[in-house]
Amino acid sequence: MGKRYGYEVIGVDNYTDYELKASGYKTVNSKRYNYNVLTQSGVDVVTDDINNSKFIDKMIEEKVDYIIHTAAQPTVTLSITNPRYDMENNVVATFNILELARKLDIPVSICSSVHVFGNDINENLEEYEDRFANFPESFDEDYSFLKGKVTPLHASKAVNEIHGKAYIDTYGLPVGIMRLTGMYGPRQFAGMNHGWVSNFIFRLLKGLPLHIFGTDKQVRDILYCDDASRVFYDFYDRQVAGLYVIGGGVNNLVSIRQVIDKVSKYLNVKPEIVMEPAREYDLNYFVGNSTKAWNNLGWEPKVSVDEGLKLTVDWIKENLEYFEVNE
């Protein structure tokens, strides 16, 4: 994508297999797939860890113009089983990147998650036949923060946001803090606890059971990958520092059950559902209001759920060999 826009891009990833392995998925082929896609599209891919101080020092010499920081431990579940790993790969890693941006005096985008809203949102939901509903339908940056049950992931993402604000306020650094909703699309190799849309699609294609925790009426405003990546370009163009809720919005509000129904119908398969106990930290409804991102960055989601699901299903179908499960 970078080359398409005329940028030279360095991609940094430690290619950890921690999350996918914990899901019982095999990782080697999927990691290699994305490595190849990036190198073939002209990205200079460096395999290293952003917690490696020698690597960070080397990046200072590269004199980059902008950093998009997406490396993370992204799951609630692994933050609970290994909070230190979460701390190191979210809090410390993001701090390292903010420091690098400060030393280079360049703009930086960092990623948070809608989890930081907290699940007190669950208290006021209405229950429809195939989904939960909330009025008002969407939440913006001013809605309350960290209310309800909080896990180490909520804490680390909240610290990322606060650190981002500290670097804006203290150093005047242009930091874009992207509070992202559930993302999906081609080339996402989902785990059991992260990337649920892609996870359900490949399991449906392989005839594997779908595990649902508590209820399939959970709602998200799912965000297609191209829409998600575009916000980082829009931020670089305008550099209006601050926190942004980045989601599919009310037009892309969909429940787990609705996604499974749409995909099953498209593939003409019957899903096997395994209901698991509810998790007390789950957020049963989230839909973002991205008016601030539109006003400040000119960003809005463009790909509809139906269009995005079709593109994702078609890609996974063509690349099913890369989705390997141990069980």
Ligand X SMILES: NC(=O)c1ccc[n+]([C@@H]2O[C@H](COP(=O)([O-])OP(=O)(O)OC[C@H]3O[C@@H](n4cnc5c(N)ncnc54)[C@H](O)[C@@H]3O)[C@@H](O)[C@H]2O)c1
Of the candidate residues 59, 104, 121, 180, the single one contacting ligand X (CB under 6 A) = 180
Residues 18-37 that bind ligand X (CB under 6 A): none
Task: Report residue 263 as tokens.
Answer: 């995909």
Stretch that binds ligand X, among 68-76, 169-177, 233-241, 266-274 (CB under 6 A): 68-76
Task: Report residue 293 as tokens.
Answer: 């991102």
> 147: Cβ–Cβ under 8 A, 6 or more apart, which residues?
117, 118, 119, 120
Residues 112-151 that bind ligand X (CB under 6 A): 113
Calculate ∠ Cα 106-108-113, nearest 5°: 170
String marking each residue 287-316 x if it binds ligand X according to CB under 6 A: ------------------------------
Whole-number Å distance between alpha carbons of 92 and 175: 17
Nearest CB to ligand X, comparing residues 98 and 126: 98
β-bridge partners, 253: 221
Question: CB–CB of 192/199 below 8 Å?
Answer: yes
Question: CB–CB of 101/108 below 8 Å?
Answer: yes
Whole-number Å distance between alpha carbons of 52 and 72: 14
Nearest CB to ligand X, comparing residues 60 and 269: 60
Q: Quote the least distance from Cβ 270 to ligand X, whole Å.
A: 27
Question: CB–CB of 296/244 below 8 Å?
Answer: yes
Nearest CB to ligand X, comparing residues 220 and 268: 220
Q: Quote the least distance from Cβ 76 to ligand X, whole Å.
A: 10
13 binds ligand X per the rule CB under 6 A:
yes
Whole-number Å distance between alpha carbons of 99 and 118: 28
How many amino acids of this chain bind ligand X (CB under 6 A)? 21
Residues 187-226 that bind ligand X (CB under 6 A): 194-195
String marking each residue 38-67 x if it binds ligand X according to CB under 6 A: -----------xxx----------------
Nearest CB to ligand X, comparing residues 89 and 284: 89
Stretch that binds ligand X, among 11-19, 116-124, 233-241, 290-298 (CB under 6 A): 11-19
| Residue 39: alpha-carbon gap to chain centroid | 22
Of the candidate residues 35, 70, 102, 133, the single one contacting ligand X (CB under 6 A) = 70
Question: CB–CB of 187/315 below 8 Å?
Answer: yes
Task: Report residue 312 as tokens.
Answer: 């994702």
Q: Quote the least distance from Cβ 26 to ligand X, whole Å.
A: 15
Whole-number Å distance between alpha carbons of 105 and 100: 8
Residues 80-119 that bind ligand X (CB under 6 A): 89, 93, 111, 113
Binding site for ligand X (CB under 6 A): 12-16, 49-51, 70-72, 74, 89, 93, 111, 113, 180, 182-183, 194-195
